[in-house]
Structure 1
Amino acid sequence: MKVLLAGGGHGHINVLKNLIKNPVDADFTLVTDFKRQYYSGMLPGFIEGIYTEDEISFNVPDLCKRAGVKYVEDKILSIDQDAKKLYSENAVYDYDIISINLGSLSNIIFPIESDHVCLVKPISEVVKAKEELDQYFKAHGQSGRLIFIGGGASGVELALAFRAAYKDVDIEIITAHDILENFNDRAKRKLEKILKDKNIFIRKNERVEKIKDQMVFTDKGTYDFTQAFITTGFRGPDVKFENFHTTDKNYLWVSDSLLAGDDALVMGDTATLRAYPDLNKAGVFAIREAPILYTNLIKAIENKRCFETYTPQTKYLQIINCGDKKAAANYGGLAFYGRIMWNLKDKIDRKYMEV
């Protein structure tokens, strides 16, 4: 049986981890154009200098080799469900069962004409931008401005991480609404105070209209920058899904068993659950989906159709790395802050990275 793993996302990392421990009698192939799979939960710590690049990423070719999975480094262009074929830049792959775990991309909602803008998805772009900024500030001193467009958890956490890395650089957040709209009021107030204390300026209710050269143009003003980061939401991957049902942002509709068809499983940001169409594209949900994807993939290989189902948790812990080994947490109506929360996050993250 030919089993195709499209993408090297965290769901497929979990599949590889399980195959290393418990080999399965099937012909597995993984296709991706990213050799490293970065863990977003540890990205702020990498930016701050706490973790190395190796510590925050999985070596996908090495994991495939250990798991007995054929590794193919190629860009996926389209997947045809009816024909059961995956088309890449260099080849065509047939499959009996496919698992899709391709993540998401940054959603561009205004024109960008600049070489100094970083889209935060894929994460490799942030890693590259950090390396370039290190070189720039080493040569020019910490004179410059970093602008983060978008006031969600991603924008706030990245702004705090870069503040920890660069103590004297001007840092601003521009958001069309309020910051952290999915957080409770206590956590939001605490994080606003932390941002203010760390000299990170927030421009609320200001809509970006375009970015040109090294200037951000909004409906209220114009601001120069050294580097801008786009955290204004996400969209599906640049892959044509033929004979699948997709949303207007190119996410794949899936059942609560993570099925997009009889022989196609999908999880993570690439998937939108029919029963929960408004569910946030947050890592906490993908982590819970991963073991269900693996279980149901094995059931499909064994032709057992008693699939497990996934029900998103109504309350979930969100931890924001605030720099200097302190973190803030949002859980239901509760809020926490301090070194204990960072230590908890560090323990969870390091455990997750174990193979």
Structure 2
Amino acid sequence: MLVKICAFKQASSTRTNSTTGLNPLSCPKPTDHFSLYASEQAKAEQEEPDPVSCSLQSTEGPTGHIMIEADRELSAMVQDIWDKDVNRLKPGTDYRISLQGKAGPVNADMNDDMNDDMNDDNDGAGYPLFSFVDERIFKKESFLAFISLLDNYESDTGEPEIVTPEEEAENHKFLDCMLRTPTMKIAHKYLVEKQLSPEGLPEFKKQLYRIWFELYARRGASKPDSSGFEHVFVGETRGGRTVIGFHNWIQLYLQEKLGHIDYKGYSVNANSPQPDENKHILALQFSWKNGIKPKGSIFVGVSPEFEFALYTLCFLVSPNERVKVFFSIYEVDIVCHHYNQKHIGTTYPVLVKYQKEQKN
């Protein structure tokens, strides 16, 4: 079933509910009125924990760019994971996005009285990002297990997370599902060879649970209020006006369908390639729950198991805050900040350039 969506602004509760939908319509977005924060807007991706610094030998990569020596091998693994991502959607066929215009700059000096005019002037998109998605893909096991986790979290940082037995069971079900996928099997084999993960699946699952699902206190919180999974795949808000994390296309699509996302346009700078509706990486600006994400970066159309395997690999293999990988037609920096060396603070892709066309 192809689902055409239109995102209406609706009042939303603190908890995300990904199971409720709107009637599919085709219409422009209504004007929204949200409060823009001041000083933290310019720090969109600076909410992450301090990265671990490490100096490694560098060489020149296949495109002439400087790359860490170890990244050659990692790139081969990422290419293998990409090739085995059997649940990846095809742009233009399984889903379609509408890039529209470039998002305007977010002015940290604007006061609340000027928000309305600034919003209208800087919104580069009059329609939602997703024009349709073939939702039959959401019936596949890995998508079902992933989506079941999206309503398990309090979005506001500082609000302690309480994990119910049902939610913990959903976490374990998701991990069991991931461990059965070809992408995660590749990642596990490589990590075992590098002596970075235990060979036994029960022990490896415990490692994954610690990395992604163990709670920790983010900056300014007195009690555990966050996890790697929540930050990266679900998204969080700080102070009601700052969106942090939120680097997943499925959550973006579902929240846009509910009317909680207002897509503001794509983001691009002088050194980055122009976005392409038929490619799988996008930098964008959007508002969510009355907060703004001045610039976020996501994979589009990939499966949960691809991202989970990729980010787990980069977290365990590289001590750097950025690791460059080459796969398919993409040269990508994977940003991955550690939290206390045990948990993922954040991780997301940054498109460096398109390589010569190879494979989709």
Q: TM-score of the superposition, structure 1-length normalised?
A: 0.27
Greater relative CO (CA pairs within 8 A, separation 6+)? 2
Which one has a larger percent strand, Structure 1 or Structure 2?
1
